[in-house]
Structure 1
Amino acid sequence: MANFFGTIKEIHVKSSRIYGSPQITNNLPHEKKASRGRVARIIGQNGIRSKVVKKYKATTNSKHDLPVAENLIRQDFTTSKPNEKWFSDITYIPTAEGWLYLAGVMDLHGRKLVGWAMDSRMKTELIANTLKQAIGRTGASTGLIVHSDRGVQYASKEYQKLLKKYGFVCSMSRKGNCYDNSPMGSFWGKLKMEWLDERTFKSRSEAKKAIYEYIEFFITVGERTHSMVTWRL
């Protein structure tokens, strides 16, 4: 029972707490299929609430004629070392000035964000800057798999040229399958639920400051504290 509830909660968090019982039921793994009534009952008993979406901004435009890469990950989220598999994605934060776009690159080994950048526009330059920062921080080398969705920014000639320059291998999610890139989706959901939930920003600079604090201070300090406690035990 506890394990089943954990699955329900994970799906709810990955949807940024948007999914209710119908969507959660539809996204249950095959081995844990259940009726909508049972899912709704468990959700109600544990106080899970679906939040009303007032604003939405698509960050994936896959309606283009650019070549797309094969899905090399196939939801195999295991790694044996750093700089083996990276995941990349873009999310958005509403402000009174307009949308703020946040791009990130995660090293699947340790699920750590190794590169990130923000801008008022969702251009190829945004994800290129994110990738360059990740390379500078990690020294990643040839053979690394970089996975993303099929968005026009990731399929662009400029971005693909950058991947080839460093000898990286491009992998892309299947069309319309958010679970192929779920590690990044989980990170964005955690950011919004732990740090940005119910907060409003008057400006993009105000939102940038809050995001910087979360990524470079809150997460980093939390990881260091956990490591120290584990080492002492």
Structure 2
Amino acid sequence: MSVGRLCQLFGVSRQAFHQREHYTQHAHSQSMLVLDLVVALRKEIPGLGTRKLYWLLQEPFAQSGIRMGRDKLHSLLQAHGLTLRHKRSAPKTTNSAHGLQKYPNLLADQLISAPQQVWVCDITYLCIGLGFGYLSLITDAYSKLIVGYCLHPLLTSEGCLRALEMALHQERPQATTLIHHSDRGSQYCSFLYIRKLKEAGIAISMSQYGDPYENAIAERVNGILKTDFRLNQVFTSFEEAARAVERSIRNYNHLRPHMSCDYLTPAVAHGSEQPLKKRWKPKRYNASKEPTESH
């Protein structure tokens, strides 16, 4: 059927039909240009939301004669799957608001010069389905070797205890020469955990003022496992997450060179009798530091 016949049937002129077709093609071309601009910006800044994108696109819009409001931009991004998904809220793994005994920081101004001198400990979370799993890690502060770990479905002291038992079994540290350093979370202050440390003759040290540097090595290891070994993904089951944790820690210990260990792997650095060459001057925590108050 001809265009003229269709226009007669719908009661519109041929001119209006062609104008509408031209407008549709023009709008489609503009939308494609906007999407190209958004992709280019997101390549440099992946987390740009609609509000900031709209602000940054004002100059390109003006140069190209594009008239598009923020709501229309959001609808366009949504139609093409380019809206950002909100990150799920991260669970809090440290609860220091408890009445259990806390211990002082024994690492202030101390130089770590050998394996089995300091173990640093922390808990991080993994996304499993719609919930979380909690990974307890114990790392030798000198060699950066992960000596104990446990992925547990609950944020209790049981996961930390299992990681500690693994570390004690594998390392068999000499009594009175090892410091165990952690945050002041209830898991590390629990009766069973403290008793296990004391039975092994391990000195207990804890961070004091919430300064991330007080447990920086442990937090750095958490970050490496999540970014370099992709433990920041969403796992479909606890079993899948546990397999990924085991594989990642094995590869971290034996395959990944560590810059703070003179580019040796943690396993090699842990067994080396030669002193490790540091690539930067180690920062010392100031024992006299006091918590600051905001006014």
- Give the counterpart letter for 1:126 in structure 2: G
- Give the 5 Å matches for 1:50-89: 53-74=87-108, 76=110, 78-89=111-122
Deviation (angstroms), 1:220: 1.2
Partner of 1:140: 173
Query: Does residue 219 of structure 2 align to residue 200 of structure 1?
Result: no
What is the deviation of 1:162?
Answer: 0.6
TM, length-normalised to structure 1: 0.70
Q: CA RMSD in A?
A: 2.5
CA contact (8 A) 1:85 1:109 kept: yes
Q: Any idea what SS the aligned residue of 1:196 has?
A: coil
Q: Residue 31 of structure 1 aligns with which residue? A: none
Segment of structure 1 superposing worse, 172-181 or 185-194: 172-181
Tell me by how many angstroms 1:48 deviates.
Answer: 7.5
**Secondary structure at 1:211 match in 2:** helix
Secondary structure at the residue paired with 1:222?
Answer: coil
Q: 1:122 aligns with which of 146, 155, 164?
A: 155
Tell whether the 8 Å contact from 1:148 to 1:172 is kept in structure 2 after alignment: yes
Any conservation in 2 of the 1:92–1:99 contact (CA below 8 Å)? Answer: yes
| Aligned residues between the structures | 181
TM-superposition CA deviations, 1:207-231 (whole Å, max 9, x none): 111121110135413359x659xxx
TM (normalized to structure 2)? Answer: 0.56
Question: Which secondary structure does the structure 2 equivalent of 1:195 belong to?
Answer: coil
Identify unmatched segments of 5+ residues in structure 2. Answer: 1-43, 49-85, 266-295
CA contact (8 A) 1:148 1:154 kept: yes
Greater RCO between the two (CA within 8 Å, min separation 6)? Answer: 1
Aligned to 2:129: 96
Flag the 1:152–1:125 CA change in 2: closer, same or farther, 3 A: same
2:139 and 2:145 in contact (8 A); partners too: yes
Partner in structure 2 of residue 42 of structure 1: none
Unaligned runs of 5+ in 1: 1-46, 229-233
**Quick one: percent identity of the two aligned structures?**
30
The structure whose Rg is larger is 2
Corresponding residue number in structure 1 for 2:183: 149
Whole-Å Cα distance in 2 between the matches of residues 153 and 202 of structure 1?
27
Question: What CA distance in whole angstroms lies between the structure 2 residues aligned with 1:175 and 1:206?
Answer: 36
